[in-house]
């Protein structure tokens, strides 16, 4: 059985990211900013389960995972966590990396479920299955 390879496209230039030339990245400063914004939102709106739709529309957005070529990263020294694309070239590797990320106390604050869900459903513009015969 041949493993399906995945290709990753840079959020800046849209080009394919080759192994060793880029990564998926999350920034710790944005995680901290999200925690603070969420705490402020809960202070203002409460932590109950019933809120008006208008209130929910102001809830802070999850911290985004980004895909960059090393050369395209607008802030390479921002500080964060990154996964080289060479480590997640197959669905199996992506699943294994997801299991590692689940141990991180900040993962639930990020859009990781949306990132991998969109890829699995074939609706991601950033992570795609390679067509047979294509090379990463």
Give residue-wise pLDDT tens across range 56-66.
888 899 999 99
> Where does residue 132 rank: exposed (0-12), middle (13-18), buried (19+ CB within 10 A)?
exposed
First CA to last CA across the chain, in angstroms?
Answer: 19
| Domain contains 11 | yes
Query: What is the pTM for the complete model shown?
Result: 0.86
Give residue-wise pLDDT tens across range 44-85.
888 877 888 888 888 899 999 999 999 999 999 999 999 999
| Domain contains 74 | yes
Domain that holds residue 13: 6-26+64-129
Q: In total, how many domains does the chain have?
A: 1
| Domain contains 35 | no
| Domain contains 53 | no
| Domain contains 73 | yes
| Domain contains 92 | yes
| Domain contains 68 | yes
Residue at token pair 């604050």? 109
Q: What angle do CA 73, 23, 8 make, to 5 degrees?
A: 105
| Domain contains 79 | yes
């Amino acid at each position: 059985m041949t493993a399906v390879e995945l290709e990753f496209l840079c959020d800046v230039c849209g080009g394919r990211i080759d192994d060793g030339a880029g990564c998926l990245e999350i920034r710790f400063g944005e995680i901290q900013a999200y925690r603070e914004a969420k705490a402020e939102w809960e202070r203002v709106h409460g932590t109950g389960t019933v809120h008006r739709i208008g209130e929910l529309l102001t809830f802070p957005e999850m911290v985004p995972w980004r895909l960059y070529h090393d050369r395209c990263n607008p802030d390479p020294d921002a500080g964060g966590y990154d996964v080289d694309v060479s480590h997640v070239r197959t669905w199996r590797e992506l699943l294994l990396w997801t299991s590692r990320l689940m141990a991180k106390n900040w993962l639930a604050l990020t859009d990781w479920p949306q990132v991998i869900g969109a890829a699995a459903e074939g609706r991601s513009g950033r992570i795609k299955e390679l067509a047979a015969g294509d090379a990463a």
